[in-house]
Structure 1
Amino acid sequence: MKGLVYKEWKQNYRFILSMILCALAPFIIVLILEGEGSAMVSIIGLIIGFIVAGLLQVMVLDGDDRKMWSYWVSSTADGYRGFLRNKYIMIFGMIALFLLSLLIFDTGYRKYLSYAEQIDFYKIMGVALPLSILQLFLRAIDIPFYYLFGKKIGSVVKSIIMSIGAIILVMFLIVYSDSMDKLFDFGKSLIDSKYITLSVMILINLVVYYLSYRLSCLVYLKGAEHYDH
């Protein structure tokens, strides 16, 4: 187990630590626009950070779709289940690191604005937390799909899905560009509702994430038979 953990860290520590940089995206964009604190600017920066973070999370799977590796790791003491478990824990940790970094930066930025006597700013964590839950759900879909079909087919389908999602997102921002405040208020209401709604959403996604791990265990060796090499 320790060997697999070291291997994953050695190969992917750049992607893991990049979560901290991704969390800076909304604040960098606000600063580039000379402190513009509108909800639209904040939400665009947040979305960019989440998209880049999501791409990096998926990139830690690169190179796993190899027959020789699949058969070798299956013969180890921990087996492919231990290998997959490490992958799931690592990706979950990346999402948690991104969210924690975002919380720290957001807290520091709000204190800075408060010190500068600027009270017109948005608490992006009200939107960031639901988006993190969505990100966990998307990874729960990505991982078993990757191990079943490999990188090539998975990349094509993923690109199609992301393109459709990007078009829908752009259309949403255009149509509801004047309603960003309501989006922030909705996210804040989830947190302020005694955490009941948010807790249920987190619990459901954790269950889905675990079921995703179990599904990956079921399809891993079947997928390995179809890898190119």
Structure 2
Amino acid sequence: MTGLLYKELKLNARKIVLYTLSSMVYPMVIIIFTKLAASTLKDSIEDEVQAQLVNNMIGLVWMCFCIISFFITSVLHNSFITQDERKKWAYYISSTPTGIKGFVGVKYLASVIVGMITVTALMIMQNLANSIGSLVPDATIAIVLGFYGQMFMSAIEFPLMFRFSSKIGSLVKTVIVVTAALIGIIYFLFGDTSMFADLETFWDRIFSLAKDPDFMKKLIFRISAGMAAVIPIYYLSYRLSVKWYLKGVENYAK
């Protein structure tokens, strides 16, 4: 299994570096923007309320950009499986001592390693922003949430990729994202949107909740419980992928 992991990381070393650097582009943009605009913002802001609103908006954008970084590196996770979609390789690896369990396990482990590299890179960006005095808040919670969210999506996508090929797995992921977007659009068209009628009041409520210690304790507890649940789901996904692997070999084009 160690040899397979070495192969995985060695063959994809350039991709890992390139995708990691690409995922840093958006966070770097907001760091540079806020640093360059810091003096201008201080001069143009009239009161503390307006200053707090600007800081909160910058914080939301910063956290969103950190989460987007995980969407960028998720493409690399899928390529780990795609590059070995060959019948000859599948039958060969199934006959080795490492077997299907080791081969599939390496794919899951490599995905976690890339996710940890992304987390490390984002935390370096966070420390860089703090050291140069850029106006970005601590996004540690958003970064960790993005990591576990990526693991959850992989747990759904990987078994489908092993069973039906990478095209089907990616299609299912696309369907999930599009369905979620459609639900959001339908809600905004026909649902109760009174809470968004006055955006200023809406953001005031959001930021006041963020400052409420009791609400934040409950929110952090729920997020922590959700992240803890991802680990057994990821393991069950691995077991399912092992079971489905040979069944999906016939779907390979080569």
Tell me if TM exceeds 0.5.
yes
Residues 194 and 168 of structure 1, relative CA distance in 2, 3 Å threshold: closer
Cα distance in 1 for residues equivalent to 2:96 and 2:140: 42
Q: AA paired with 1:138?
A: M
**1:152 counterpart = 2:167:** yes
Native 8 Å contact 1:191 1:198 kept in 2 = no
Greater shift in the superposed pair: 122-131 or 27-36: 27-36
Cα distance in 2 for residues equivalent to 1:171 and 1:98: 34
- Post-superposition Cα deviations, 1:19-73, rounded to whole Å, max 9, x if no partner, equal 5425523432214535366134313422331211222222222122221111111
1:112 counterpart residue number: 132
Q: AA paired with 1:47?
A: I
Residues 202 and 156 of structure 1, relative CA distance in 2, 3 Å threshold: closer
TM-superposed CA distance for 1:170, in Å, is 8.8
- Using the size of structure 2 for normalisation, the TM-score is 0.72
Q: AA paired with 1:160?
A: V
SS at match of 2:158: helix
Cα distance in 1 for residues equivalent to 2:203 and 2:34: 23
Equivalent runs, 1:142-221 vs 2, <5 Å: 142-165=157-180, 179=203, 182=207, 185=210, 196-221=221-246
Cα distance in 1 for residues equivalent to 2:208 and 2:246: 43
Native 8 Å contact 1:62 1:151 kept in 2 = yes
Cα distance in 2 for residues equivalent to 1:56 and 1:171: 32
Equivalent runs, 1:114-129 vs 2, <5 Å: 120-129=135-144
TM-superposed CA distance for 1:196, in Å, is 4.9
Equivalent runs, 1:1-229 vs 2, <5 Å: 1-18=1-18, 20-22=20-22, 24-31=24-31, 33=33, 35=35, 38-113=58-133, 120-165=135-180, 179=203, 182=207, 185=210, 196-229=221-254
Cα distance in 2 for residues equivalent to 1:183 and 1:29: 28
Identity of aligned residues (%): 28
SS at match of 1:228: coil
Greater shift in the superposed pair: 208-217 or 91-100: 91-100
Cα distance in 2 for residues equivalent to 1:19 and 1:47: 14
Greater shift in the superposed pair: 72-81 or 162-171: 162-171
Native 8 Å contact 2:70 2:115 kept in 1 = no
- Cα root mean square deviation, aligned: 3.5
Cα distance in 1 for residues equivalent to 2:5 and 2:59: 40
User: Alignment length, in residue pairs?
Assistant: 222
Residues 223 and 41 of structure 1, relative CA distance in 2, 3 Å threshold: same
TM-superposed CA distance for 1:182, in Å, is 4.1
- Post-superposition Cα deviations, 1:87-121, rounded to whole Å, max 9, x if no partner, equal 111101111111122112202211321xxxx6x53
Native 8 Å contact 1:143 1:212 kept in 2 = yes
Cα distance in 2 for residues equivalent to 1:71 and 1:183: 58
Unpaired stretches in structure 2, ≥5 consecutive residues:
38-54, 188-192
- Using the size of structure 1 for normalisation, the TM-score is 0.79
Cα distance in 2 for residues equivalent to 1:171 and 1:25: 32
Cα distance in 1 for residues equivalent to 2:19 and 2:148: 16
Unpaired stretches in structure 1, ≥5 consecutive residues:
none
2:50 counterpart residue number: none
